[in-house]
A and B are shown apart, each in its own frame.
Chain A
Amino acid sequence: MSDVDELVIAGEKFSSRLIMGTGGAPSLEVLDQALAASGTELTTVAMRRLDPSARGSVLDVLRRRGIKVLPNTAGCFTAGEAVLTARLAREALETNWVKLEVIADERTLLPDPIETFDAAERLVADGFVVLPYIGDDPALARRLEQAGCAAVMPLGSPIGSGLGIRNPHSIELIVEAANVPVILDAGVGTASDAALAMELGCDAVLLATAVTRAQRPELMAAAMADAVRAGRLARLAGRIPRRRYAQASSPGTPLGDYYSVG
């Protein structure tokens, strides 16, 4: 196996497949330590209620660590707001990348598929690299890819819920059909969730709360980095088929018999 197994989004390469969010950290210092431990190279920042020119903000932390900023449209309820937020972010941060997030309601924070699709079309037409956050819906994922999105980001379960991947089958269907990176976004509660996402064939995992609200964020960030890497390696290695009954791993035949090449 080649040592190089990079994540490529819109032609840009990342050696870490863990994308971090910044929400929920108790302090910038804790966030900084967690980001370092995660090894992430791409991190989302909510643009609402953030002045990119203000000194000492979360953006400074990311710049200092050389982490690429992925502005997101968190908190938007309509395609109109999301497009506006993306344009403001592009102007302020000089990036045409955007994580598109259009929320349907405050209780579930589930993405609104219709507003999301509408905004994605408009943003792609406007030259953005669009990474939409969506439900675990294979049909919508396919349509967004056709519309020109650079990746699709299905949820494992609702934002901040820590419920893990509730419908692994849907995630597999999305992965199977996709020709753009599939990034599992939202719902990761602990390391095994992140590993499972990668084993299912996702190209990357995006998480925030699982780390920022952990009792020891830095330690959990390190756990997530290992989990994403382990899950990726397992996917590449190819798991054995599940069997109903045991199959002895050492069937009593001397190794020599297998390798008797002479």
Chain B
Amino acid sequence: MDVIVGGGIAGLAIAWRLARSGRPVTVVDPAPCSGASHAAAGMLAPVSEVTYTEEPLLRLGIASLRMWPAFAAELAADAGAASGEPGALVDLREDGTLDVAFSADDLAVLDELAGFMDKLGLRVERLTGRECRRLEPMLSPAVRGGLLAPDDAWVDPRRVTRALRAALDRRGFALIPARVTGLLREAGAVRGVRLAEPYARDLHADRVVLAAGAWSGELADVPVRPVKGQIIRLRSPQPLLTRCVRGMVHGSHVYLVPRGDGELVVGATQEELGFDTRVTAGGVYELLRDAHELVPGVTELELAETIAGLRPGTPDNLPLIGPSGTPGLVLATGHHRGGVLLAPLTAAIVLGEQSELAALCSPERFR
């Protein structure tokens, strides 16, 4: 039996793919679907998020983005969704990301970025301010120009984890709502996990998959640290935007992710504060201030939710997926800002279906 530590999007995606392949799986998580997967906006945006020095991450992101439509369709079928658009269950939308700029300085940054993307062979379109506003009329008239990454997409991560649980329920799997206090080690190998009260027992496994997100570093010697992100959810009767919009305001990036039901997600701060998950006045203020600069109409919306999640950060921003070096322990963690995007690829690597990209994520690089 495989034991998956962590019932977020990574752990559940792996569990579901394992269950589909006929392997018995147990997921252990005291509060499944409540960590970073619950806070995340769900952008599948490897193109618009590319930065210098991070081309390996781009390769992973693009590979996983391509897997998403089939992943979503199979998930919908397995979760017993009523027929309809295959992506509808998880609100998979493939209308791209629009990155906008307000000043001549930021336009120059966009131009340079466009050149970099072009060199990488990525499909992007440079738009004027008026073209941006024709695509998204609610954008501020102050928008000077933009960069459209038409291949970027997004999902609702909460719907994804809900669908994964439904699919797993239908496949038959065990979920133990317990905290794991440690790994069972025997003769240099991991043989299972120790469960906290009220279970207080050992759970033996052929293989333990550590998918505990920001908490992974508490259970094994892996270079994963929590990176706090505050994110807010606004709600309107009618969607304000038709695609993801992001922009640079006051030197920091803000993004707005629209959902079909009128929800508008605005994120996110990046803070190195350990396991602190307090929502702060400054965090919410900055998100609203920056969102208002991009889309002035946001201040009319209902402020439906404020939340802070913890991204599992690694030193090089690449995930840790694959054999840990300790027999019996496999890692599926360290996804930082890309856990939702990389979920299909993560599962494929753990199942041994993806060897070429696996090397980029290999935990070997930190040993």
Contact = CB atoms under 8 A, between A and B. Distances in A.
Contact of B225 (A26, A50, A56, A160): A56
Interface string B209-228: 00000000100000111100
Interface of A: 26-30, 32, 49-51, 53-58, 106, 160, 213-217
6 contacts: A51-B273, A54-B226, A54-B272, A54-B274, A55-B274, A216-B52
Given A27-B315, A29-B316, A50 B251 contact: no
Interface of B: 51-54, 116, 217, 223-226, 250-251, 269, 271-276, 313-317
Nearest to A49: B271
Given A29-B315, A29-B316, A106-B250, A57 B272 contact: yes
B45 to A, nearest CB: 16
Contact of A27 (B54, B217, B250): B54
B273 A26 contact: no
B316 A27 contact: yes
Nearest to A31: B315
A27 B226 CA distance: 14
B274 A215 contact: no
Nearest to B317: A27
A215 B223 CA distance: 25
Given A26-B54, A28-B316, 11 more contacts: A26-B52, A26-B53, A27-B316, A28-B315, A50-B271, A54-B275, A55-B217, A55-B274, A56-B313, A106-B250, A215-B52
A56 B317 CA distance: 13
A51 B227 CA distance: 11
A53 B315 contact: no
Contact of A57 (B116, B225, B317): B225
Contacts of B271: 49-50
B53 A58 contact: no
Contacts of B226: 54
B251 A160 contact: yes
Contacts of B315: 27-29, 32, 56
A118 to B, nearest CB: 23
A56 B217 contact: yes
A28 B54 CA distance: 12
Contacts of B272: 49-51, 54, 57-58
A29 B315 CA distance: 5
A30 B56 CA distance: 13
Nearest to A61: B315
A57 B217 CA distance: 13
Contact of A49 (B54, B273, B275, B317): B273
Contacts of B273: 49-51, 54
Contacts of B250: 106
Contacts of B251: 160
Contacts of B53: 26-27, 30, 216-217
Nearest to A30: B53
Nearest to A58: B272
Nearest to B105: A161
B317 to A, nearest CB: 4
A54 B223 CA distance: 13
Contact of A56 (B51, B224, B269): B224
Contacts of B275: 54
Given A27-B317, A160-B251, A53 B54 contact: no
B313 to A, nearest CB: 7
A72 to B, nearest CB: 15
A30 B223 CA distance: 15
Contacts of A55: 217, 225, 274
Contacts of A30: 53, 316
A75 to B, nearest CB: 9
Contacts of B276: 51
A56 B223 contact: yes
B278 to A, nearest CB: 12
Contacts of A213: 52
Contacts of A56: 217, 223-225, 313, 315
A65 B275 CA distance: 25
Contacts of B316: 27-30
Contacts of A53: 274
B144 to A, nearest CB: 16
A184 to B, nearest CB: 21
Contacts of B116: 215
A57 B314 CA distance: 10
Contacts of B313: 28, 56
A28 B52 CA distance: 14
A57 B225 CA distance: 7
Contacts of B274: 51, 53-55
A172 to B, nearest CB: 28
A223 to B, nearest CB: 16
A51 B217 CA distance: 17
Contacts of A32: 315
Q: Which of B53, B269, B274, B275 has the most CB of A within 10 A?
A: B53
A56 B53 CA distance: 20
B214 to A, nearest CB: 10
Contacts of A217: 52-53
A185 B225 CA distance: 31
Nearest to B112: A215
Contacts of B317: 26-27, 29
A257 to B, nearest CB: 56
A56 B334 CA distance: 12
B74 to A, nearest CB: 33
Nearest to A53: B274
A221 to B, nearest CB: 13
Q: Which of A29, A32, A160 has the most CB of B within 10 A?
A: A29
